[in-house]
Amino acid sequence: RCISVASLFDRSLRIYEEVQNPSGGKSPRILGQARWIRTPENPRSLLEIGLPGHVVSRTLWLETDNAENAPIELDQFEGFVPGANLLFQTRGSEPVELCYGNKNAGRPSYDLNLIAPQILASQKKEASVQGSPGDLTSPSAGRWTSAASWVFYGALVLVVGGLLWVIARLAPKSQQQ
C-alpha cells in the first residue's frame, strides 16, 4: 500500500522482484500490477496491490512509467505479510524443536485430517520461536560439539590404521622378501 497527494494522474504500476535465472544472471519476476487513476470524480488516494504467491528476494521494486507527465510522489508505504499458525500436539513436557528455513523443502502431507477435530478442540498454549531460519543451535543440534567430533574422527583414524596394519600383515610376501 501507498498513498499519493497528486490530484490528477493515470498510471500503471507493477511490483516485481529480481530472481536468479538459469544462466546465472537476474531477471524480473512480476508479482502484481494495478492501474491507478485519480480524477476529481475519483479521488482514491490509496494504492493497494496484492502479491499472490511466494516472494523469494528481500527487495521489491515498484515501477511506473510517467511518460511525459510529471512524476507522482508516493508516500506512506506499508507491506503486510500473512502470519502463520502452527498447531501440533505433544505428549509430556519434552522440549519441541521446530526446524524451518529450507526453501527447497516440499509441503508435508500427513494424515492430520483424521484427528483434526481432536487437535482443534484441545487446550492451546502459546509458543515462541527462538533463533532464525536455518539456525540449528538448539540443544539437539549441539550434540556433536567440537570435542566430540575430534574424538569420533580420532577413533575413526585409529580403526582405519589398525585395519591397514592387519591387511599388511596378512598380505602374502613376495619371494624377494
78 with 1: CB under 8 angstroms? yes
Of the candidate ranges 7-11, 45-49, 106-110, 135-139, the one whose mean pLDDT is the lowest: 135-139
What pLDDT is stored for residue 122 in this prediction? 82
CA distance 19 to 17: 6
Return contacts of 164-172, CB within 8 angstroms, 24+ apart. none
Q: Are 2 and 80 in contact (CB under 8 A)?
A: no
pLDDT of residue 163: 93
Name 27's Cβ contacts closer than 8 Å, sequence gap at least 6. 18, 19, 21
Pinpoint the alpha helices (H) of 79-140.
116-121
CA–CA separation, 9 and 136 (whole Å): 51
Least confidently predicted of 63-72, 115-124, 126-135, 147-156: 126-135
Mean pLDDT of the chain: 80
40-44, 89-93, 95-99, 104-108: range with highest mean pLDDT: 40-44
Of 8-22, 23-37, 84-98, 160-174, least confident by mean pLDDT is 84-98
CA nearest neighbour of 48 among 76, 6, 28, 73: 76
CB atoms within 10 A of CB 38: 19
96 versus 24: the higher-pLDDT residue is 24
Whether 140 shows a pLDDT value over 80: the answer reads: no
The span from the CA of 62 to the CA of 45, in Å, is 17
Handedness of CA 142, 148, 150, 154 (dihedral sign): negative
Other beta carbons less than 10 A from residue 17's beta carbon: 17
DSSP H helices, the chain, are 116-121, 146-170
